[in-house]
Amino acid sequence: MNDIIDVRPSRGQIGIRFLFSLLFLIVFEILKLVVQVTVVFQFVYLLITRTYSEPLRAFSNKVATYAYKIVRYTTLNDNTRPFPMTEFPQEMEPPARSPSFD
């Protein structure tokens, strides 16, 4: 009557997911470096001009969303492979209207 379907993944599927996870962990390490460079550049720019770079803020927000998607995939919390296997993710939430220095 009720046929129980085995939904456990095969070892081959697990191995492929593991290899993709390793690839995305390497990409994540590169993203960490990109974030560090953008932070330093943004603060140098801010110190010189006393205003922030809006294009850099938008870029940083997209990088943060991409990094979040990678972490979700590699920790088995999302089944959708991150970019370049899919489209680059849209921003999850917009940046703050203006940064505060309080």
What is the C-alpha separation between 81 and 73, in angstroms, rounded?
A: 7
Q: Please give the pLDDT value at position 99.
A: 79
Percent of the chain with pLDDT over 90: 71
- Supply the pTM of this predicted model: 0.81
Sign, CA dihedral 63-68-73-79, equals negative
- CB atoms near residue 7 (< 10 Å): 5
Judge contact between 73 and 81, C-beta under 8 A: yes
Q: Where are the alpha helices (DSSP H) in the chain?
A: 11-49, 54-74
Each domain of the chain, given as residue ranges in start order, spans: 28-94
Mean pLDDT to the nearest integer, 31-46 = 96
- Give me the pLDDT at residue 56, please: 93
Q: Which residue has the higher pLDDT, 93 or 48?
A: 48
